Amino acid sequence: MFLDEVEIEVTSGAGGNGAVSFRREKHVPRGGPDGGNGGKGGDVVLVADSGLGTLLDFRYRSRFKAERGTDGAGGLKDGASAADCEIRVPCGTVALDVETGERIAEVLRHGDRRVIARGGKGGRGNAAFADSVRQTPRFSEKGEPGQKRRVKLELKLVADVGIVGLPNAGKSTFIAAISAARPKIADYPFTTLVPNLGVVRAGEKSFVVADMPGLIAGAHQGVGLGDRFLRHIERTRVLLHLVDCAPPDGSDPYENFQTVERELAKYGHGLANKPKIVGLNKLDLPGAKETADAIARRLAAEQPETPCFLLSGATGQGVQAVVFALSDLLDRTPKQEDPQPEVVYRPGERRGAGEWTVERVDGELHVRGEGVDRLVSRTDLGNYDALQYLHRQLEKLGVLQALRDEGVEEGETVVIGGVQMEYVEKP
C-alpha cells in the first residue's frame, strides 16, 4: 500500500542535570566545587533510506521520543549525551511543523540526515559557577527540556521524468512498455491510484520515470486528489504529456491536452515551465492517426519549442523514439540544486535571552519570552542559592527594572515561564 502523507509526534530528549558536589579528599579540608555538567539530550533525526518507498510504516507507529542525557557527577564527571532517535523515511520526504506550517527539513539522497527536534542542553554543574567572588556555589543548573512537536511528513517522489495526462491516456501502458514497472492497467478512469516508478534505459544511459494518476479539471484544487498527485512531479526535471487521440467518450483530444496544461499552470511550483515532450498516443485505434497529425500540426504552430511524437504504447510504435528524445532532453536540462545541508527552519535554535515582554494580566505581572522562560526552567527553584543566581540574571537582563517600571510591589505575584513567583527587591 502506498502512503505519501502522515502526521507524527516527536519529542527530543531533555538534557541531564548538573551536579552539586565538592572535593572531599584527605588533606584537602576545603576542597572546591567539582560538580560535572549534565549530558545533552538526544535529537530526533530524519534519515533518508533508498530502500523505502512509502510512509506506510508510520500508520502503525506515530510517536517517537529520544532519551534524556545523564546527570553530571562529582569529580568533574560530565554526564553522557543521549543517542539520537533516528526516523528512517523514503528519499524525497519533506517535514513540516503542523502548528506553524513551516518547513523543517527535507531529505533527498540516501543517507541524508536532518534534525527535526533538537535535544536539550545539559545543565551546568556547580563547578561552572565558581569564580573569584562565588567560590563555593551550592547550586547547579537543570537540563533543558526536550522539544515536543507534531510533524507532517510528505513524500515527493524523486524521478527524472513525470508522465502526465488525463485518466486513460495510456500512461501506465507506456511505462510498462519502457521499464520493468508493472502498474495496474484497465479500461476505466483512475485505474492508477498511486504513482509508479520505472527505470528506463536509453542506450548506455538510464533515468527514472514516474507514472502519475490521471489529472482532471480542478486537480490543482484537490479534485480527484489531483493536488496530492501533482506534488510528486515537483522534483521531476522533464514532463511527458500523453494525449489519448481516440478517447472513447468522443471528447476533443486537443481540448483534453489543454485541460491538463491549465491544471499544471494553476498548481504552480514551476510545473508549467518544465521542459516537456508531447506524446500523441493510441495510434493503434481507428481514426487516431488523423487526429494525431492534426494536433501535431497545431502544436508545431503554437508551441514550436515543444517536441511532439506519435506513438502507441500498446503496440510499441514510436515508443523508443520517445525514450531517446527524453534522454536527450534530460541531458540538456540542468539538474535541480539540492537543498542546503542545513535544515530550512531550525527548531529550537538557541538565541540567548532574546526578546521578552512584561504586561499585567488580571492583576498579575507576566514576563514572556523564550530566553527568560528557558532561564527559569533550568533553575532549581527549591534551592536558595539558585534563586539568588536567577535574581541576578534577571537584573542583568533588565527584567527586574521593567517590572519596577510597571509598578511592581514587594510580595506581588510575577509569572515567568508559567511559574508563579513572589517578587522581592533583594533576596
Residue that the C-alpha cell 579528599 belongs to:
25
**Among 161, 257, 275, which residue's Cα sits nearest to residue 215?**
257
Average pLDDT, the chain: 82
Whether residue 135 is predicted with pLDDT greater than 80 in this model: the reply is yes
pLDDT score of 222 = 39
- On whether the CB atoms of residues 220 and 234 are closer than 8 A, the answer is no
- pLDDT tens per residue, range 5-42: 789 999 999 999 999 999 887 776 667 899 999 999 99
pTM of the shown model: 0.69
pLDDT band at 92 (very low <50, low <70, confident <90, very high): confident
- pLDDT tens per residue, range 333-347: 887 655 544 443 344
- Average pLDDT for 171-187: 65
Greater confidence, 360 or 337? 360
- pLDDT tens per residue, range 270-283: 888 889 999 998 89
Whether residue 65 is predicted with pLDDT greater than 80 in this model: the reply is yes
Q: Is 340 exposed, middle or buried (0-12, 13-18, 19+ CB in 10 A)?
A: exposed
Angle between helices 288-302 and 253-267 (to 10 degrees): 50
Separation CA 140–CA 123 (nearest Å): 7
Separation CA 148–CA 56 (nearest Å): 22
Express as a percent the part of the chain with pLDDT over 70: 86
Instruction: State which H helix or E strand residue 86 sits in.
Output: strand 85-90
